[in-house]
Amino acid sequence: MYLWKYWRESRITFAVGVALVGLLLWAVLKIHMGAFGPGQPDDPSQLYLLIATPLTLPLGFLALRYGSFGVGSDLGRGSGSFLFSRPRSRAFFVWNDWSFGMAQLLLIVVAANLVLRLAVYRIAADSGPILLNGGPVSMFSIFLLHCAAGLVLAGLIFGLTYFSSVLARGHGAMIAIGVLVAYSIAKSVVKHYWVDINLPDVSLIEFSRSRFGIGFADHLGLEIALRAAVALAFPVAAQMLLQQRDVE
């Protein structure tokens, strides 16, 4: 029954998200198919990267929206006492919010990458495996990588926003945007003064670059696992915060 409430709150975002990602995919494919020309793939791996990168923006936006639903919004609008006087533990509410939000984001990420995969396949059907760092990698591996990277990105932003919403009783999206902007600035400053130091990127670009041999990060699995752990730390922190705090 609680999931029904979450679905009621998030269904418009879900529909908008699907439409937004679909529209963006269509627009980007239109542009790049024109640039590369059907049947004349310049480099399918580059094509995948070029098309996947713009998806970061709507995905980030959706993750911000999803993080604003659930317990944090109830605390913000004054219905927290009603919600938490339902006979369930506070952990129940947090993990239901988190699971259902992540499930919807997963659907969007996988659907978007499936469309992307099919489009790239149509453009570069006979190009075969891609050579990465001297070895062949199937397009399916790249599809999985992009799904994982997209999900981790969405999970990080979703978790951060969710935790911020609980912490500040609503207004989580504004705090999360502030944190993300501050981190981007810090990353640029560090890069400017200490060229050898690269703070991890939250977006999927870095994963793609590393897999394509353009950038760095040889330990892709570890990189994803670390980000996933950080993403998971946010709902854990939200739960702990709620268990410590009085509901006003």
Partner 1 sequence: MNDLAIETHALHKHYGDIRAVDGLEMHVPRGAVYGFLGRNGAGKTTTIRVLTGLASASSGDMRVLGLDPRTDSVEILQRTGLVIDKMLIPSMTGNDLVRFNRGFFPRWSDSHAQRYAEVLELDMKRKFKKLSTGNRTKLCLLLALSQGAELIMLDEPTSGLDPVVTDQLLRVMVEDFANEGRTLFLSSHHLSEVERIAEWVGIIDHGKLLLEGRLEDMRANFRRVRVVGDMPPLAEWPSIVSTNTGEGTTEFVLRSDADAFTAQIVSQGATVLDVTPLNLSEIFLEVVGKGKTHVSVEVLA
CA gap 97, 73 in Å, rounded? 11
Q: What's the DSSP call for residue 125?
A: T
**Residue closer to partner 1 (CB basis): 84 or 212:** 84
171 near partner 1, rule: CB under 8 A: no
Structure tokens at 73: 């919004």
Which of 11, 30, 77, 191 binds partner 1 (CB under 8 A)? It is: 77
197 near partner 1, rule: CB under 8 A: no
Q: What is the dihedral of CA 43, 46, 48, 52, to 10 degrees?
A: -160
The piece of 2-10, 37-45, 54-62, 206-214 that touches partner 1 (CB under 8 A) is: 2-10
**Residue closer to partner 1 (CB basis): 60 or 172:** 172
The piece of 16-24, 54-62, 82-90, 173-181 that touches partner 1 (CB under 8 A) is: 82-90
CB-neighbour burial class of residue 174 (10 A; exposed 0-12, middle 13-18, buried 19+): middle
Which of 26, 82, 140, 194 binds partner 1 (CB under 8 A)? It is: 82
The string over 6-45, giving b where at least 16 C-beta atoms fall within 10 Å of a residue's C-beta and e elsewhere, is beebbeebbeebbebbeebbeebbeebeeebeeeebeebb
89 near partner 1, rule: CB under 8 A: yes
In the complex, what is the shortest distance from the CB of residue 241 to partner 1, in angstroms, rounded to a whole number? 13
For 144, other C-beta atoms within 10 Å of its C-beta total 13
87 near partner 1, rule: CB under 8 A: yes
In the complex, what is the shortest distance from the CB of residue 92 to partner 1, in angstroms, rounded to a whole number? 9
247 near partner 1, rule: CB under 8 A: yes
Which of 4, 135, 193, 229 binds partner 1 (CB under 8 A)? It is: 4
Which of 7, 37, 81, 144 binds partner 1 (CB under 8 A)? It is: 81
Q: Find all residues with CB under 8 Å of 146, minimum gap 6, and list them.
A: 48, 52, 113, 116, 204, 207, 208
The piece of 72-80, 133-141, 167-175, 196-204 that touches partner 1 (CB under 8 A) is: 72-80
CA proximity to 98, closest of 161, 48, 153: 161
30 near partner 1, rule: CB under 8 A: no
Q: What Cα–Cα distance (Å) separates residue 89 from each residue in 2, 8, 116, 232, 239?
A: 12, 21, 41, 19, 10
Output the CA torsion sign for 91, 97, 100, 105: negative
**Residue closer to partner 1 (CB basis): 7 or 194:** 7
**Residue closer to partner 1 (CB basis): 82 or 194:** 82
> Which residues are at the interface with partner 1 (CB under 8 A)?
1-2, 4-5, 8-9, 74, 77-79, 81-89, 246-247
